[in-house]
C-alpha cells in the first residue's frame, strides 16, 4: 500500500532546548526527562514533523551531546526531514537562543516557527493551523496565545482598544494592571523569515532578567510598521511546560488521561 504523502509547511522550526532545568534537581537535561516513557523533546519534535515541518533546528546547551544523540537516534526513523543543531553556550534568553540558530535557519523557508522543547502536549493541528493563519494574514509575526485562570509567571498579551496586540509583557516587567490580564503568551511564534532576522539583532537585554526576550520582537516589528497577529487556543493544557518534578508528575497524569481517552475513541 502506498504511503500517504505528507503535506509540507513552508516553514522552518527552531526548538529551544538549551536549558539545564535547575529546578528538576537532576543531572539529566530537562528536555530528556520522560513523559509516557518518551523524552519531552521528542514529543515536541514529533508534533512538528506531524504538522508538516520538514526542516528543524534544535538549540542545545546543557547536556548537548546527550540531547543531540537522543534526537539523532529518533530521527533515524523519520523520513524527509532535515535536522540541524545550534549551540547556546550561555543561556541569555529566548531571543539569544534564536540568534544562535540563524546560520542553520535563515532563508530556508518563508516562515520560521519557534517552539519550546519542554512543552510536549502541543497538538500538530494547532501548529499547522497557526502557520496557515500566518500565511493567510501575511503576518510578520503570529503569536500563539491562550487564557489562564491564574496567569502568574507568564508573559501577558497587551492589546489596544481595537483588540490588536501592542506588546507582550513578561511577568517580572509587567505593571499591576498588566498582571490582571489572563491572556498569555505561550512562547510559540510564527515569524516571516524576512522580518525575523534583520530585526532580531535590535533586541536589548535592558530588563529585569538581563536577557534578550524574543517577546520584544512584537514591539520591534510594530515600530517598523509590520503586521502582528495572534492565534488563540482554547486549550491551555497544550502549553503546559515542565520546570520541576512536581510539574512533570502533573503532566504525566494529564498525558495518561489523554492516552486513555484516545484508546476509547
> Which residues are part of the catalytic machinery?
23
CB-based contact 183:236 (threshold 8 Å): no
Residues 6+ apart with CB under 8 A from 255: 35, 36, 120, 121
CB-based contact 133:192 (threshold 8 Å): no
Cell of 248: 512533570
Output DSSP code: residue 262. H
> In the chain, which residue ranges form alpha helices assigned H by DSSP?
40-51, 64-75, 94-99, 102-105, 124-136, 193-200, 217-223, 245-264
Amino acid at each position: 500500500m502506498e504511503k500517504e504523502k505528507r503535506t509540507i509547511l513552508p516553514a522552518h522550526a527552531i526548538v529551544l532546548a538549551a536549558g539545564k532545568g535547575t529546578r528538576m534537581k537532576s543531572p539529566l537535561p530537562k528536555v530528556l526527562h520522560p513523559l509516557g516513557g518518551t523524552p519531552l523533546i521528542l514529543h515536541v519534535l514529533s508534533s512538528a514533523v506531524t504538522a508538516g515541518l520538514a526542516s528543524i533546528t534544535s538549540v542545545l546547551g546543557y547536556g548537548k551531546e546527550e540531547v543531540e544523540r537522543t534526537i539523532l537516534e529518533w530521527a533515524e526513523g523519520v523520513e524527509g526531514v532535515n535536522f540541524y543543531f545550534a549551540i547556546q553556550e550561555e543561556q541569555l534568553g529566548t531571543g539569544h537562543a534564536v540568534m544562535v540558530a540563524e546560520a542553520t535557519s535563515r532563508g530556508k523557508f518563508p516562515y520560521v516557527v519557534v517552539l519550546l522543547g519542554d512543552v510536549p502536549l502541543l497538538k500538530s493541528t494547532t501548529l499547522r493551523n497557526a502557520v496557515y493563519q500566518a500565511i493567510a494574514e501575511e503576518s510578520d509575526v503570529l503569536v500563539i496565545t491562550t487564557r489562564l485562570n491564574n496567569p502568574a509567571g507568564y508573559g501577558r498579551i497587551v492589546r489596544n482598544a481595537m483588540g490588536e496586540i501592542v506588546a507582550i509583557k513578561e511577568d517580572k516587567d509587567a505593571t499591576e494592571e498588566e498582571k490582571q490580564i489572563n491572556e498569555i503568551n505561550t512562547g510559540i511564534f510564527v515569524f516571516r523569515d524576512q522580518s525575523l532576522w534583520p530585526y532580531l539583532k535590535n533586541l536589548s537585554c535592558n530588563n529585569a532578567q538581563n536577557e534578550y526576550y524574543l517577546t520584544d520582537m512584537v514591539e520591534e516589528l510594530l515600530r517598523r510598521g509590520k503586521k502582528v497577529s495572534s492565534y488563540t487556543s482554547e486549550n491551555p493544557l497544550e502549553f503546559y511546560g515542565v520546570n520541576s518534578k512536581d510539574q512533570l508528575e502533573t503532566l504525566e497524569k494529564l498525558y495518561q488521561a489523554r492516552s486513555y481517552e484516545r484508546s476509547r475513541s
